[in-house]
Structure 1
Amino acid sequence: MAWRIGVDIGGTFADFTALDTDTGDLRTLKVLTTPNAPGDDVAEGLRRLTAEGLVPAAVERFVHGTTVGVNTIIQRRGAPLALFTTQGFTDMLELARLRMPDTYSLFCERPEPLVPREHVFGIAERMDAEGNTVLAPERDSVAAAVSAAQAAGARGIVVSFLHAWRNDAHERAVVAMINEIAPDLFTFHGAEVWPAIREYERTTTAVLNAYVHPRIDAYLERVENQLRAAAIAAPLLLTTSAGGTMTAQRGRRDCVGMLLSGTASGVVGAGVVAKAAGVGAVLTLDVGGTSADVALLIDGRPAFGTGHNIGDFPLSIPSVAVVSSGQGGGSIARIDAQGVLQVGPESAGSTPGPACFGRGGERCTVTDAALLCGILGQGELGFGAIAPDKSLSEKAIAPIAAALKTDAAGAAEGVLQVAISGMLVEIDKLLARAGMHASELTLMPFGGAGPMLGALLAETAGIRRVLVPPVPGTLCALGALAADLRRDTMRTVLMPLEPAFWPTIQSGLAELAAEAGAALAEMGGAGEAETTLAADLRYRGQSFELTVPAGDSIAALAENFHAAHEEAFGHSEPGAPVEVVSLRAVARRAAPPLPFLSNPGGEHEETPEKLVPLTMGGATRQAGLYRRAALNPGGRFTGPAIVTQSDCTVLVPPGWSAETDALGNLVMENV
């Protein structure tokens, strides 16, 4: 007997998926997160799984995703840092890109940097644009800066110098000096974290990495101790922003690599389900306690990109392409100064949580609104972890209802509609960039709150088909199990795409592939690995580049770029000069496959357990209540209906039909 465990820590719940590899049995579980004692939720989940039959000594794979890093940034609870830059460039973080977060707001302000200006110190050094030393750093200059950083209370130092993407010798030399002068300070340098062109983005990524390092390091040590205490010998693997996994040892230094781990895991899990179901184009909708995250899947594969924001700051590493809006199950509803109903981005999280949780929350959230509409409250919430109290939701929504001059049910419907509208804004942007129409897509909602809002969002967006996985509330944990062991490497080269440079491009790609392969072997030992090569290209004079497959010749690489430019922007210039900005390599080792048992069943009509009141469209009507565990493949029914299960609640609105397919997915269509 062998077990594999996937864990995903969200804003409100910690999700667990345990697979018995002998029987193919999947067990799922949710426990409330413990933000004041990170890691205790993992211990509680393991204790409950063990009580239900898990054999800790038989666990062969343990994969974990967490929001500790991203929450640290959003809440600004990271380590106090100092930044060493090239002398004369100490205003780099203050200047940023001179872009305002909201171009059209008269009251918009740029966020404060994670490293205050008074904690940024210039070092007398200079490397030219070709990577040649103009002025080497001296120990006295570094020692003075270290002394000033210590006096300012810094626990760590980030070193990021001009043109270090071309040659990081000065960065490495200064880090070595710091380690000798003040070994109690931890250090990172920009080219170590991500050796890409553009000083601000490289520096910010390194700062983010250092800012969360102490909390992630302590958290991982705590989780590893808990695994040992639970007699689990499997090494701790972490899900990454790129949809793969890495070891905890590497995660202690590559902290930015796991900032979007939970979000990426959900998309990976959705891709596994979509591929098994034979669905080509999917829009995923992951609604947790804090946000709604959407992504596009084509044939089960997500898109990747760089430049995603973590809180207020850009992250330059590759990650699964996901867009987020601040409307989750715990997002708080309010009336703004203009008397307009708003939902999010502030969230009640798990502490105190929505008002109906009875844990001290007093403000109305999306979860409270769903309870007042009758969507929730018909079955378990979070595997029985919560028994929602409707009277607390009524009390919380009363001020909003009074301001809107309506009753509690009307205000609750308004909260859900505003939340869905906020999600729709980001979906419209995503589809416009992808050149796709909503009618081409199947929506796959998951997360604790996704299935209760999925069909309503689909109806508003013009999507006519919704597929709800068997265990949508814990799909991110399932995705962690399905994630490959993966290592990304890159190097900025900045050269013309000309035949004379092809040998240099080839050797650079070969070196990156070897580096990625060696890192993979270090993390997972010897074994089969797949390596993918790519390059970032742009037309000369452009500010940004496109990532395309490397191909096996310079002509193939150029053709790949022109085709990608045509697809992305509707035009290309095959005769124009092209620049190679960066080279990339990805090494991956596939995770063990997950079992999907198919049971075709026979067509039949499902009978509701009973009828329950549901408020929609300004009227209260009777909806059929179904238990997900009692639905059989081939079973059909029509809305309005509510389907309850341990990890979530599914809403089938009026005018929609639903059928359970052979894999246990609930497929809804707008008839």
Structure 2
Amino acid sequence: MEADLAWRVGVDIGGTFADFVALDTDSGRLTTLKVLTTPQEPGQDVAAGLRRLAEDGLQPARVERFVHGTTVGVNTIIQRRGARLALFTTAGFTDMLELARLRMPDTYSLFCERPEPLVPREHVFPIEERMDAEGRTLVPPARASVAAALRAARAAGCQGIVVSLLHAWRNAAHEEAVAAMAAEMAPDLFVFRGSEVWPAIREYERTTTTVLNAYVHPRIDAYLERVEAQLAAAAIAAPLLLTTSAGGTMTARRGRRDCVGMLLSGTASGVVGAGVVARAAGLPSVLTLDVGGTSADVALLHDGLPAFGVGHAVGEFPLAIPTVAVVSSGQGGGSIAWLDAQGVLQVGPESAGSTPGPACFGRGGERCTVTDAALLCGILGQGELGFGAIAPQAELAEAAIAPIAARLGTDAATAAEGVLQVAISGMLVEIDKLLARAGMHASELTLMPFGGAGPMLGALLAEAAGLRRVLVPPVPGTLCALGALAADLRRDTMRTVLLPLEAAAWPRLAAVFAALSAEAGAALGEMSGAAEAEISLAADLRYRGQSYELTVPVPARFREEGSAAEMAALFHAAHAESFGHADPEAPVEVVSLRAAARHPAPPLPVPRRPAVPHEAAAEATIMLRLGGHWRQAGLFRRAALAPGACFTGPAVVTQADCTVLVPPAWRATTDELGNLVMEQP
């Protein structure tokens, strides 16, 4: 029967649309689709998309791989609709979440306030126990103390317990004991331990990450149950895989406990999809731009591979697990335009989402969004929007922008162009920061815009940022779903060691590398049944006395034959590349070691067609508002542009999943892979 399996399906649920990609491996045909999300009924958008795909030829019984990314977790945090939690922590440290790192979110604002913790202070309960920094028991956990904390948690109406005790990264015995007592005395309350979720040094970050995991657990658990029911109803027997924040995938069973691992799944899978396109096109350095309904996310790709980092903020809280290095700004297609107290035009971060959505959608939205502004400037409205799911209405957009235009003393079109310019400026701020940290100049990069609104604004952003080349993939509006199909099955492990990087410590470091590799490989085998796994290693290193560290990839052979000197040389080189200097004579400290096990996803076909250069003729002439006045522009359909087709902007290219804007004087060409490549003269 397995020989008959041929279909692979990728799904990404965003703030406005649910994106679907279905690949028929027999024929190589790729079917893409967008449907509006159903935040009031999570999971129904998956069912609606599968029905539409079945009408277009999908054979559910032949689906061999189903990969899903969702924003349920991150939206739960942003909207603060998660579980009511209690935090059990070491007596004397119950103010940990309030104290945080004693830093304000905005250093230069006199009115800045720190966000309220997800666990209020009155739900933090002390446990009489103590362990020293070396993991030795000083005071064992007192059962009476745990019982008292549970009674208080029940009285407060808590649904779950987070156990995060001092120095548990070194020795988890006390956390395990407290969790076992809680499970015995209150089996109806779910329990998560900090040493289980992410056993890393730094109590605040470890505790916050565990709180995030527990906070979203009930909603994610219920959501995955509904999606699995929808798959069963659609006769899809393939196991449900979930995209992860690290650009891989995991099983739904593991996702029910490892909830933080999928918080940033959509943004990560978009970068993975962009990597597939970049490698096929032979692009060494790419800046990705994913503009959805809520945010604009940018990342750097080198040879098609993303960078990774830790400390990414989810909502207003740090996430300690490794994630694809993406920076975000609150300027998406659904981001709302508004005037501040000084009458200055602002865009975002509040978004209209899919309900009520942009005003022009006719679903009840009354405030102007970036999408409404693009419609009033003539960019949108030239073809179907969201696979025909939406017929935008210009009169509704005009009514939405009228209050802004009146206060600015201008007409609707000028105000609309201002909204687009402010949105681009907000994205530009984050891009400048990213390039400065990477030590790169914009002229070295190709911009790859995707998402529903990325190609609409990509070339305008490239002009503002100083990039001279833009590549729009064949299916940019559903690239995140395509990336889900390309994501490898992956499991990350780490352990904090706090050892000097010296020859005497190397046997211990090698033993930890070996143990982490075995742990990651076993977890991957449990998820996939695969006997073989590709193992990659990394180390968090710093000069002694530094308060931060660098994550440095190390060769897999270090498990057997590496040396402290070799690892130190890698760190010095990485430090010089990141900060412009290094001190080879300074002592180095190993903070944590990491291992990742990977089982590659089946390769995606990348069809090529010979490119025959020719000048493409516009199907119609339209009017665009660009540069402060209206001008004529050509209208093209993406499907009609054969490889080798060339034309010069200003122009608009329509396709089912997005709209592409080609600014004046930019030269656009369709390459042999179907990419639309725009270059500035």
Give me the TM-score of the superposition, normalised by structure 2: 0.98
Q: Is residue 423 from structure 1 mapped to residue 427 from structure 2 by the alignment?
A: yes
225, 248, 252: which one aligns with 1:221: 225
> 1:600 Cα shift?
1.8
Map of 1:562 onto structure 2: 572
> 1:534 Cα shift?
1.2
608, 612, 619: which one aligns with 1:602: 612
8 Å CA contact retained: 2:506, 2:564: yes
> 1:403 Cα shift?
1.1
Secondary structure of the equivalent of 1:279?
A: coil
> 1:619 Cα shift?
1.1
8 Å CA contact retained: 2:503, 2:563: no
53, 60, 82: which one aligns with 1:56: 60
Secondary structure of the equivalent of 2:163?
A: strand
> 1:549 Cα shift?
2.4
Segment drifting more, 552-561 vs 479-488: 552-561
In 2, the alpha carbon distance for the partners of 1:162 and 1:585 equals: 25
In 2, the alpha carbon distance for the partners of 1:26 and 1:213 equals: 34
Q: How does 1:514-529 map to 2 (within 5 A)?
A: 514-529=518-533
Letter in 2 for 1:241: S
Q: How does 1:121-136 map to 2 (within 5 A)?
A: 121-136=125-140
8 Å CA contact retained: 2:85, 2:215: yes
Map of 2:13 onto structure 1: 9
In 2, the alpha carbon distance for the partners of 1:585 and 1:616 equals: 50
Q: Is residue 585 from structure 1 mapped to residue 595 from structure 2 by the alignment?
A: yes
In 2, the alpha carbon distance for the partners of 1:480 and 1:505 equals: 34
> 1:553 Cα shift?
1.7
Q: Is residue 549 from structure 1 mapped to residue 559 from structure 2 by the alignment?
A: no
CA offsets, 1:16-58, max 9 Å, x none?
A: 0000001111000000000010000000000000011100000
Secondary structure of the equivalent of 2:399?
A: helix
CA offsets, 1:82-133, max 9 Å, x none?
A: 0000000000000000100000001100000000000000100000000000
In 2, the alpha carbon distance for the partners of 1:31 and 1:395 equals: 26
Letter in 2 for 1:563: A
Map of 2:678 onto structure 1: 668
Letter in 2 for 1:110: R
Q: How does 1:174-573 map to 2 (within 5 A)?
A: 174-551=178-555, 552-573=562-583
In 1, the alpha carbon distance for the partners of 2:284 and 2:611 equals: 23
In 1, the alpha carbon distance for the partners of 2:10 and 2:390 equals: 22
8 Å CA contact retained: 2:530, 2:599: no
55, 67, 72: which one aligns with 1:68: 72
Secondary structure of the equivalent of 2:569?
A: helix
Alpha-carbon RMSD across the aligned residues, in angstroms, is 0.5
In 1, the alpha carbon distance for the partners of 2:440 and 2:571 equals: 21
In 1, the alpha carbon distance for the partners of 2:285 and 2:33 equals: 29
CA offsets, 1:206-232, max 9 Å, x none?
A: 000000000000000000000000000
8 Å CA contact retained: 1:489, 1:515: yes
Identical columns (%): 80
> 1:527 Cα shift?
3.5
Letter in 2 for 1:411: A
In 1, the alpha carbon distance for the partners of 2:92 and 2:332 equals: 44
CA offsets, 1:596-649, max 9 Å, x none?
A: 111122110000001011111111111100000000000100000000000000
In 2, the alpha carbon distance for the partners of 1:375 and 1:200 equals: 47
Secondary structure of the equivalent of 2:113?
A: coil
Letter in 2 for 1:423: M
Letter in 2 for 1:142: V
In 1, the alpha carbon distance for the partners of 2:313 and 2:177 equals: 31
8 Å CA contact retained: 1:239, 1:246: yes
> 1:528 Cα shift?
2.9
Q: Is residue 102 from structure 1 mapped to residue 112 from structure 2 by the alignment?
A: no
In 2, the alpha carbon distance for the partners of 1:111 and 1:589 equals: 39
8 Å CA contact retained: 1:549, 1:557: no
Secondary structure of the equivalent of 2:429?
A: helix
In 2, the alpha carbon distance for the partners of 1:181 and 1:127 equals: 24
In 2, the alpha carbon distance for the partners of 1:365 and 1:317 equals: 33
> 1:550 Cα shift?
3.0
> 1:298 Cα shift?
0.4
Secondary structure of the equivalent of 2:492?
A: strand
> 1:138 Cα shift?
1.5
Secondary structure of the equivalent of 1:14?
A: strand
8 Å CA contact retained: 2:541, 2:591: yes
Map of 2:558 onto structure 1: none
* Aligned positions, number: 671
> 1:529 Cα shift?
1.4
Map of 2:625 onto structure 1: 615
**Unaligned stretches of 5+ residues in structure 1:** none
8 Å CA contact retained: 1:306, 1:315: yes
Map of 1:115 onto structure 2: 119
Q: Is residue 41 from structure 1 mapped to residue 51 from structure 2 by the alignment?
A: no
> 1:516 Cα shift?
0.1
8 Å CA contact retained: 1:292, 1:328: yes
Secondary structure of the equivalent of 1:517?
A: helix
Letter in 2 for 1:474: T
643, 649, 664: which one aligns with 1:654: 664
In 2, the alpha carbon distance for the partners of 1:326 and 1:191 equals: 33
Q: Is residue 142 from structure 1 mapped to residue 149 from structure 2 by the alignment?
A: no
Secondary structure of the equivalent of 1:109?
A: coil
In 1, the alpha carbon distance for the partners of 2:8 and 2:37 equals: 21
**Unaligned stretches of 5+ residues in structure 2:** 556-561
In 2, the alpha carbon distance for the partners of 1:518 and 1:24 equals: 33
Segment drifting more, 202-211 vs 609-618: 609-618
94, 97, 113: which one aligns with 1:93: 97
Secondary structure of the equivalent of 1:490?
A: strand
Secondary structure of the equivalent of 1:71?
A: helix
